[in-house]
């Protein structure tokens, strides 16, 4: 194809020309390796006709690989300098794909579905090399607000990848694991070394794959279920009877809801699936 991906020299040149000094607070580590971005695009399973949203496109490394698949990309970038340069980068490196690319200058946490609309459609996939400090909230916010999303492939700090993909009973199973599971089947999809980035970060990265699935069946709303989840993990060493006392109104009310949902009140939250949390919230609601 006529698309050329960014290598180490391209990234440095672009950064120098734009006078970009990568900031840690915005998690700016740019991928300088074509194999890595191609691998991400391949694992995302996207192609011609798909509308993909990319969060934090930076200098465009991953963006170009996504365009290479034939997909249409609507990117969300918080840094004005980077957002402004992206159309020119796409025009230079992927001239035939320019009409399939647009960028929204915004904090991804503030974006709503209508801003991501292209030709009357909203994205069905999210692909991103996420800024590490906001990866989880950005992901959960998007999943909540863009209900057309069916799949995702994100690169995050390895530790965050483990937490997102954790199963009940795993040591790192917690709030992000349960909330992500509300929307999708989540699994680890490989590791990424530090050397593919500039500047080289001090943590390893991991890939996480999201496959949309029907949300748990329950009479409780998502907000009600998530409040129960937050309460359970706020005091994760306590039994659910104790941890959910404040949420339910009293230890006895918590115990009643748990029993009605078929859960031993002496269990801890780290053993419950998202469906079980939904059952507890529904039982409490009555
Ligand atoms: N995707 C590029 C790549 O792979 O080379 C850059 C990835 S870099 C880890 C993260 C990018 O996210 C940066 O461009 C940064 O400016 C942007 N960013 C940070 N916080 C953001 C936010 N809240 N909303 C949107 N973009 C953000």
Residuewise pLDDT in 10s, the chain (286 residues): 589 999 999 999 999 999 888 888 888 899 999 999 999 999 999 999 999 999 999 999 999 999 999 999 999 999 999 999 999 999 999 999 999 999 999 999 999 999 999 999 999 999 999 988 899 999 999 999 999 999 999 999 999 999 999 999 999 999 999 999 999 999 999 999 999 999 999 999 999 999 999 999 999 999 999 999 999 999 989 999 999 999 999 999 999 999 999 999 999 999 999 999 999 999 999 8
Residue ranges at the known binding site for S-adenosyl-L-methionine: 29, 31, 56, 77, 107, 129
Kindly state if the Cβ of 216 falls inside 6 Å of ligand 1: no
Residue minimizing CA distance to atom 3 of ligand 1: 30
Residues 263 and 228: their CA atoms lie apart, in Å, by: 14
Tokens of 255: 């115990």
Question: Closest Cα to residue 63, out of 114, 11, 25, 23?
Answer: 11
Q: Is the CB of 125 under 6 A from ligand 1?
A: no
The protein residue whose alpha carbon is closest to atom 21 in ligand 1 is 78
Tokens of 34: 């074509």
Instruction: At 97, list the tokens.
Output: 């794909």
131 Cβ inside 6 Å of ligand 1: yes
Residue ID of nearest Cα to ligand 1 atom 18: 56
Cα distance between residue 123 and residue 87, in whole Å: 19
**What would the two tokens of residue 25 be?**
């607070």
The reply to whether ligand 1 has any atom less than 6 angstroms from the CB of 183 is no
**3-class DSSP state for residue 210?**
strand
pTM over 0.80: yes
User: Does residue 157 line the site of ligand 1, with CB under 6 A?
Assistant: no
Contacts 24+ apart (CB under 8 A), 88-93: 89/14, 89/59, 89/60, 89/63, 89/64, 90/60, 90/63, 90/64, 93/3, 93/4, 93/5, 93/6, 93/60, 93/64
Decide: 282 in ligand 1 pocket, CB within 6 A.
no
- pLDDT tens for each residue of 188-220: 999 999 999 999 999 999 999 999 999 999 999
């Amino acid at each position: 194809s006529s698309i050329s991906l960014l290598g180490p020299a391209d990234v440095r040149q672009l950064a120098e020309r734009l006078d970009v000094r990568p900031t840690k607070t915005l998690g700016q580590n740019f991928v300088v390796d074509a194999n890595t971005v191609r691998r991400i695009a391949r694992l995302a399973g996207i192609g011609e006709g798909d509308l993909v949203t990319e969060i934090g496109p930076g200098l465009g490394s991953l963006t170009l690989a996504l365009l290479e698949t034939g997909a249409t990309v609507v990117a969300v970038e918080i840094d004005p300098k980077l957002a402004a340069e992206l159309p020119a980068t796409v025009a230079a490196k992927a001239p035939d794909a320019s009409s399939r690319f647009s960028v929204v200058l915004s904090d991804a946490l503030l974006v709503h579905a209508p801003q991501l609309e292209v030709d009357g459609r909203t994205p069905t996939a999210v692909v991103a090399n996420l800024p590490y400090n906001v990866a989880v909230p950005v992901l959960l916010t998007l999943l909540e607000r863009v209900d057309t999303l069916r799949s995702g492939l994100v690169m995050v700090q390895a530790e965050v990848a483990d937490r997102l993909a954790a199963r009940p009973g795993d040591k790192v199973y917690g709030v992000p694991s349960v909330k992500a599971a509300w929307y999708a089947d989540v699994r680890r999809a490989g590791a990424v070394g530090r050397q593919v980035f500039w500047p080289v970060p001090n943590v390893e990265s991991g890939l996480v794959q999201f496959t949309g699935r029907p949300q748990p069946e329950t009479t409780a709303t998502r907000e009600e279920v998530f409040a129960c989840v937050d309460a359970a993990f706020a005091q994760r060493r306590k039994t659910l009877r104790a941890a959910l006392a404040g949420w339910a109104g009293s230890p006895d009310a918590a115990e009643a809801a748990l029993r009605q949902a078929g859960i031993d009140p002496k269990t801890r939250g780290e053993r419950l699936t998202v469906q079980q949390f939904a059952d507890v919230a529904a039982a409490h609601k009555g």
